[in-house]
Chains A and B, each alone.
Chain A
Amino acid sequence: MQHGSLITVEYQTVNYVSGPLIFVERPKEISFGETAQIILPDGEARTGQILDISEDVAVVQVFEGTRGIDSHVTTVRFTGQSPLLDVSYDMLGRVLDGVGRPRDGGPAIIPEARLDIAGMPINPYSRDKPAEFIQTGISAIDALNTLVRGQKLPIFSGAGLPANQLAAQIAKQAKVLGEGENFAVVFAAMGITYKEASFFMKEFEESGALERVVFFLNLADDPTIERIATPRCALTAAEFLAYTHNLHVLVILTDMTNYCDALREISTAREEIPGRRGYPGYMYTDLATIYERAGRIKGCTGSITQIPILTMPDDDITHPVPDLTGYITEGQIVLSRDLFRKGINPPIDALPCLSRLMNLGIGPGKTREDHRNVADQLYASYAYGRDLRRLVAIVGEEALSELDRNYLKFADHFEKRFISQGNVERSIETTLQVAWELFSLLPDEELKRIKQEYIDRYRTLIISGG
């Protein structure tokens, strides 16, 4: 982030410090949302942003934290501008810090443009419908919860579950069928460990994509409040690459739970009325200003696809962070500890997963005519099989009819053969093939979700072929 240069007034009137906030007295001619430069007694310069102003006091959040700020010597200069980011095509291949300053020892970014990191709401009238199937090579996603270009599809993870591996695999394998690529990845880390960040770097390096990636890193030991700015900087860069340089940009944001915790910290310091679990009541709106920056715009060739990753505290999907996220994003991929323990990799729990844009990206000409039906049938049969597991736990397998025993088997095979695929990349054809193989466990009459003509066409294929 940059500040304007015309600095007029300096204030030495910090009269109160609370958590990440400082309260500056008698401010004049300053505007809501503008950035401030805070000079500490030892000469260190920090960046802040105005959250509230009245005639008597301005409340400023300090991105790097308030440690060391005093009320005598510290000076505050207001810059007259909201937070801006220098952007350029040459950001590709660079590693930046959480607010966009080089972190890789390389030169400063020579800006092609200087953009407000808050972004502006896209006019719904200008949006273009996402429609292109992205093949991620992962069956649980491609067949059941298809990702479409311009979608925002988060991964709901739990502590210790392999969300990063999944995200990296998606980023490596993602392709739009039958098209040359003009892609970039913007990776925003919020409060993750160095180890996690370097895992991603290595993955990108191995796939030879490193020079197509921009990293914005705010790591676990970096200032907490900076995390408020990190996803916004990343999306500002992504928008520039997508809409000025016509790239298809995949944005990975991890970990949104850390972002939300930073938001909560500020809210607490402002003594706002806390909402659920202490998160502020406006968190929904705040998250929306991040997630809604995905999409496609009419007349632009580029696009922004988002894969935010978040950790569900206690694996609880009703926790405000996954809950509010799910209310904004266009579906979710949910990881399950049970499946992880069973050795299913990736441990995707299909039932609570959803891709709201799936229908736009599948079907004849995009994937295959039977795709929708196959997905619905897999869901219905797997859900039934899972119900039976519960029943079996009580009454034993003997009490089941033969058909129901087949359903149990179906559920097992679904997890072991369909969901679990390790590091193997599967084409959509292979994925559908595996699905039809599973259906051979069930009689025709049970395939109610599938049109008869597809059963005739694809089932025989399996039986004769397999």
Chain B
Amino acid sequence: MITGTIARISGPVITARNMTGSRMYDVVSVGRAALPGEIIRLEGDEAVIQVYEDTTGLMIHEPVENTGVPLSVELGPGLLASIYDGVQRPLPALYAKSGNYISRGIMVPGLDRERRWAFTPVKKPGDRVQTGDVLGTVQEFHLVHSIMVPPGVSGEIKTITSGEFTVTDVVCTLADGTEIPMLQRWPVRKGRPFVKRLDPEVPLLTGQRVFDTMFPLVKGGTAMIPGGFGTGKTVSEQTLAKWADTQVVVYIGCGERGNEMTDVLTEFPELTDPRTGYPLIERTIMIANTSNMPVAAREASIYTGITIAEYYRDMGIDVALLADSTSRWGEALREVSGRLEEMPGEEGYPAYLATRLAAFYERAGRVICAGSEEKTGSVTIIGAVSPPGGDFSEPITQNTLRIAGTFWALDANLAYRRHYPSVNWIRSYSLYLEDVEDWFSEKVARDWYQFRGRAMYILQKEIELQEIVQLVGPDALPDKEKVILEIAKIIREDFLQQSAYSDDDSFCPLEKQYWMLKIIIWYYDAIRAAMRRNVPLRQLLSIPARSEIARMKEQRDLERLKKLSDTVWEQTENLEVQTCSTAA
């Protein structure tokens, strides 16, 4: 084992001497307190190390031991419903060892060593297997967890046993003597292998109208949610964690508030997945490096999360990874880089920021998984971005923009007036619209795309008209433009706004989204038709159905909602009769 000594300590970064033979990203144990760290630069016999714990108390000349392995996570049954720190130490285990505060130098494995899992083989002795092949399964809550041949391993099965095992027990041996337990390790900084990337075509549904209908995301895609403080990034991430239609969700609280992790921890066990009826916590894995936890572990937390996500993907599962906030990760990178006295790029970020960001988002994707069976799985990444001063021109936002397929721009002015989600409908976009068009027209309705397009048009038109209003006042507009303002208002208030805290509306099924929008657009068409028959606009805007439109969100009965579309037509047509009869 390579053992060196500490030569310099500067916050979370230390330099060790006599480290010849070390490799980049090797995990080291620093000092007598055995603090975990990772080599991030090698220069001659010196290694620069980022330490995952507070370095207070370390001294020059204390020993540094290289473990010879890169920073890795443990993969296997027992990940679901766990909450980990940035380097995969289970927080409940840390609590058991050190109480309410996280003290240093505690090593706890990521997966429980005592717990036994019932393993059911699907292969038999004599079968030839390769990387990614499913050897057998374990029931992890409601998920059938595939135990797969680890990357780089293949051969003929000699023994494979069913029964109750711990994660480290050998469940299968190969003819060449290789022993395979359920637990695998994988270095976090390297993507797990797969066969082939697929084009996205299936939307990732979230139950949020502004996302699903207006700016859809796809399974295997990437989305960014930038916004100043208080605009709703965290609520969006948590809402997505609740309602995304994936089997597994990885939630990374990266440099954010402790109480927000508590939220997830206390709320998710009580909420049920609207699609399966099971508690949400049972499909969720949480990684918490809160803002007051060591900064180097913040950098690692993102990789820990994505590696776990890839592992489930490899089983042929759809996984959503939520990272709140990627800016804190970037800042951790900057802080460490600053301590290394590297040449700073824009706003002090290291020059490799863009590459690192891209490499992270590249790990999203829908793929044909490794293995001889046909499996497709996906990892979707949804990253919150926290631009300083809410100014999107800063490096993290700009670099992420180049990569992300969906851009959900949050807007402080909308948040100030409590328009939530505060997604700015003019600034936001989805590059996946065309990819999902077929899916929507097949699964929802042929005219989905058309209604969406018309709604967007009305919203865009509203902006233009508002500019005119600002100059000449609202009365100067002709009726046919006033209608647009009114309908745009309905779209904003009665469609786009969606409270995450509403019992009736926090999750809106896709079909309901479609009907809500359709009714609004039909109302628009009905008004225009009636206006051609000279029905006064005032009357058209005050038909009783309008207040029903305003309460569509609360309507849980889809059939009744659908009837509203007829009501809208009837009431506008009735008006014509009335006006005719009064005229007669």
Interface residues of A (CB under 8 A from B): 27-34, 51-55, 82, 118-130, 272-276, 281-282, 284-285, 288-289, 292-293, 295, 297-298, 300, 318-320, 323-324, 326-328, 330-332, 351-352, 354, 356-357, 359, 372, 376, 379-380, 383-384, 390-391, 394-396, 399-401, 404, 445, 448
Contact = CB atoms under 8 A, between A and B. Distances in A.
A120 B103 contact: yes
The 4 A-B pairs with the shortest beta carbon distances in the complex, nearest first, are: A318-B389, A399-B473, A288-B291, A383-B417
Nearest to A352: B416
Contacts of B389: 276, 318-320, 323
B55 interface: yes
B10 A82 contact: no
Measured as residues with beta carbon below 8 angstroms from the partner, the interface class of chain B is 35 or more
Contacts of A298: 100
B100 A122 contact: yes
Given A33-B55, A121-B292, A295 B100 contact: no
Contact of B417 (A380, A390, A399): A380
Contacts of A123: 91, 94-95, 98-102
B265 A125 contact: yes
Residue of A27, A54, A122, A123 with most chain B CB atoms under a 10 A cut-off: A123
B258 A401 contact: no
B60 A124 contact: no
A11 to B, nearest CB: 14
Interface string B438-459: 0000000000000000000000
A404 to B, nearest CB: 8
Interface string B373-390: 000000000000010111
Contacts of A391: 469-470, 473
A352 to B, nearest CB: 6
A344 B461 CA distance: 38
B134 to A, nearest CB: 33
Given A53-B8, A372-B501, 20 more contacts: A27-B60, A31-B59, A55-B60, A82-B56, A121-B101, A121-B292, A122-B101, A123-B91, A127-B259, A129-B259, A275-B348, A276-B347, A351-B417, A352-B230, A376-B418, A391-B469, A395-B470, A395-B471, A395-B472, A448-B550
Given A126-B95, A288-B292, A272 B55 contact: no
B8 A124 contact: no
Contact of B347 (A275, A293, A300): A275
Residue of A54, A125, A383, A395 with most chain B CB atoms under a 10 A cut-off: A125
A31 B501 CA distance: 49
Contact of B230 (A130, A289, A331, A401): A331
Interface stretch (B181-189, B241-249, B330-338): B330-338
A394 B258 contact: no
B60 A54 contact: yes
A379 B417 CA distance: 6
B293 A284 contact: no
A55 B255 CA distance: 32
A359 B502 CA distance: 11
Contacts of A129: 259, 262-263, 266
B214 to A, nearest CB: 21
Contact of B102 (A32, A121, A276, A396): A121
A326 B265 CA distance: 23
B192 interface: no
Residue of B228, B257, B334, B347 with most chain A CB atoms under a 10 A cut-off: B257
Given A285-B295, A292-B291, A332-B230, A320 B257 contact: no
Contacts of B58: 31-32
Given A273-B338, A275-B347, A284-B291, A53 B60 contact: yes
A324 to B, nearest CB: 8
Contact of A292 (B94, B292, B469): B292
B483 interface: no
Interface of B: 7-11, 15, 54-61, 83, 91-92, 94-95, 98-103, 228-230, 253, 255, 257-259, 261-263, 265-266, 288, 290-293, 295, 328, 331, 334-335, 338, 344, 347-348, 386, 388-391, 412, 415-418, 469-475, 493, 501, 547, 550
Residue of A30, A32, A55, A394 with most chain B CB atoms under a 10 A cut-off: A32
A383 B416 contact: yes
A276 B416 contact: no
A385 B366 CA distance: 48
B230 A354 contact: yes
B10 A52 contact: yes
A318 B390 contact: yes
A298 B95 CA distance: 11
Nearest to B98: A123
A117 B504 CA distance: 47
Contacts of B344: 273
Contact of B59 (A29, A332, A401): A29
Given A30-B59, A330-B257, A125 B83 contact: yes
Residue of B91, B230, B259 with most chain A CB atoms under a 10 A cut-off: B259
A127 B262 contact: yes
Nearest to A27: B60
A113 B470 CA distance: 65
A450 B59 CA distance: 62
Contacts of B475: 399
Given A33-B57, A351-B416, A124 B262 contact: yes
B290 to A, nearest CB: 6
Contact of A120 (B55, B102, B266): B102
Contacts of B59: 29-32, 53
Nearest to B472: A395
A55 B7 CA distance: 6
A328 B291 contact: yes
A400 B470 CA distance: 12
B347 A295 contact: no
Nearest to B416: A351
A354 B417 CA distance: 11
A285 B335 contact: yes
Contacts of A285: 255, 291-292, 295, 331, 335
A149 B262 CA distance: 15
A298 B391 CA distance: 38
A273 B331 contact: no
Contacts of B98: 123
Nearest to A386: B417
A32 B416 contact: no
A129 B270 CA distance: 15
Contacts of A128: 262
Contacts of A288: 255, 290-292
A52 B292 contact: no
A54 B474 contact: no
Contacts of A352: 230, 412, 416
27 contacts: A34-B57, A54-B15, A120-B102, A121-B290, A124-B288, A124-B290, A125-B265, A128-B262, A129-B259, A273-B348, A281-B334, A282-B331, A282-B335, A285-B292, A295-B258, A298-B100, A300-B100, A356-B230, A372-B501, A376-B418, A379-B418, A383-B416, A383-B418, A384-B417, A391-B470, A395-B470, A448-B493
Contacts of A293: 292
Given A281-B334, A288-B292, A320 B56 contact: no
Contacts of A29: 59
A43 B415 CA distance: 58
A273 B336 CA distance: 12
Contacts of A53: 8-9, 59-60
Nearest to B295: A285
Contact of A289 (B10, B292, B415, B473): B292
A327 B231 CA distance: 10
A90 to B, nearest CB: 25
Given A124-B91, A125-B265, A55 B8 contact: yes
Nearest to B5: A55
B331 to A, nearest CB: 6
A19 B101 CA distance: 35
A272 B338 CA distance: 7
Contacts of B291: 284-285, 288, 292, 328
